[in-house]
Amino acid sequence: MKYMATYDLMETARNTNEWMGATARAMASYPMFAMTMSPMLALTAAWGEVTERSFSRMVAKPDWGIRSVVGKDGTDHLVDVLPVVEKPFGSLIHFSVRRREPMARKVLLVAPMSGHYATLLRSTVSSLLPDCDVYVTDWHNARDIPVSAGKFDIEDYTLYLVDFMRALGPDIHVIAVCQPAPLTLAATAYLAGEDPSAQPRTLTLIGGPIDPDAAATDVTDFGRRITMGQLEQLAVQRVGFKYKGAGRLVYPGLLQLQSFISMNLERHQKAFSEQIMRVAQGDASDHDAHNRFYDEYLAVMDMTAEFYLSTVERIFKNGEIAKNEFVVAGKKVDIGAITQVAVKTVEGEKDDISAPGQCVAALKLLTGLPDSKKASHLEPGAGHYGIFAGKSWRLNIRPLVLNFIDANSPKKPVIALASSN
């Protein structure tokens, strides 16, 4: 599979479906056909509209779409997305709120690199902005990174996080969502051993596979069934000539999207069938619930082959984080070296990606951290998405995380005013 031809063939299929959708929509909307009053024309146009939109979104990076935030004074404050640290495979960005005083809470939100863009956390960022100064790891699409930029595996990812934490200083509160949880834990441990003064104040791990063997899911079962040789042969392709990263070995986002959809195929089929009927009946809109969700869900990015393969081999198969045997740049990372950073884990009761037990396993590895600095939360009835962006996050988990941050932040000194007697 490691050929440009297979990558280009997959892109050709996507492009063809997008073209077919656009053609069907345009043909069925031709004014002359309106005289026939046939319901098939409306359905054909609706199918074309939904198909064109769906396949075009697969290669477009979504916009953050966060224009403003309401301040404590009740006025709107414009939000600028500014780069803080720029690197070939990912940047640290800041959601700078104009005309607002510095916030007491300074949060680094570590976004997953698992096939979607960091914009998957848009609602998470929006919910934190009124109360926090928010920074996010914005990972780049591997297909757009020239081969000359070199490799990028989980060790490089971890060192990127180390650099980002150092750039923000020790007053940062880190929240890692899903895939980066084990590597963020490793980055914090790396700082504990190499540069203790740069450690964050708190670390919140949400639905991440610290110990994938703690609870089985379809993801962990797949990792056990397939060999690394099979995985490399089936999943890895070379970026085609259309993109800047031509020739780079990647795990294509379109393959990852296929895996995502296959996990809940019937639900996705039903969602698209219902959307076609809504469009045909004139009940759909550009930003309805279906489009808001799928515009983000269908937008996928390629991962470097070395990152994808090393994640499967070292995190899922070998369990290097779970066994405290992870090595970065030739140095053993001892998670037990974390003695000052307060750590909280969050899991969803019905999470079918990172099942309950996988994330809370981090607390057992923190042998040097007192129990008073450890916390965990299991959200009843919540699935994977809900614990960082859904109803469970908004109504329950977000307040718990903010309280955890406040409880482990330095208290402001109370200054007594002199008496005027």
User: Based on the number of CB atoms within 10 Å of its own CB, is 40 exposed (0-12), middle (13-18) or buried (19 or more)?
Assistant: exposed
Average pLDDT, the chain: 91
pLDDT for 129-151, tens place per residue?
999 999 999 999 999 999 999 99
User: Based on the number of CB atoms within 10 Å of its own CB, is 375 exposed (0-12), middle (13-18) or buried (19 or more)?
Assistant: buried
Q: What local confidence, expressed as pLDDT, does residue 373 receive?
A: 96
Q: How confident is the model at residue 420 (pLDDT cuts 50, 70, 90)?
A: very low
User: Based on the number of CB atoms within 10 Å of its own CB, is 243 exposed (0-12), middle (13-18) or buried (19 or more)?
Assistant: buried
* Per-domain boundaries in the chain: 4-57+257-297, 69-223+303-407
Q: Which helix (H) or strand (E) holds 186?
A: helix 181-194
pLDDT for 177-194, tens place per residue?
999 999 999 999 999 999
Amino acid found at 180: P
- pLDDT reading at 253 higher than 80: yes
Class of the CATH-defined domain 69-223+303-407: alpha beta
CA distance 291 to 284: 9
Query: CB atoms < 10 A from the CB of 385, how many?
Result: 20
Q: What local confidence, expressed as pLDDT, does residue 389 receive?
A: 87
Q: What local confidence, expressed as pLDDT, does residue 69 receive?
A: 93
pLDDT for 265-285, tens place per residue?
899 999 999 999 999 999 999
Tokens of 201: 């104040």
**Pairing mode of beta strands 327-328, 237-238:** unpaired
Q: How confident is the model at residue 367 (pLDDT cuts 50, 70, 90)?
A: very high
- pLDDT reading at 304 higher than 90: yes
Q: Are 179 and 113 contacting, i.e. CB atoms less than 8 angstroms apart?
A: yes
Beta strands in 99-148 (DSSP E): 106-110, 133-139
Q: How confident is the model at residue 412 (pLDDT cuts 50, 70, 90)?
A: low
| Residue keyed to tokens 């750590």 | 343
Query: CB atoms < 10 A from the CB of 290, how many?
Result: 18
- pLDDT reading at 414 higher than 90: no
Q: Are 174 and 185 contacting, i.e. CB atoms less than 8 angstroms apart?
A: no
Question: Contacts by 119-123 with C-beta closer than 8 Å and gap 24+?
Answer: 119/61, 119/62, 119/63, 119/64, 119/296, 119/299, 120/296, 120/389, 121/177, 121/388, 121/389, 122/62, 122/64, 122/65, 122/66, 122/296, 122/389, 123/389, 123/393
Q: Distance from CA of residue 282 to its chain's centroid? A: 33
| Positive or negative: CA dihedral 306, 194, 110, 397 | positive
Q: What local confidence, expressed as pLDDT, does residue 36 receive?
A: 75
Task: Return the DSSP state at 150.
Answer: -
CA within 13 Å, CB half, 72 = 6
- pLDDT reading at 1 higher than 60: no
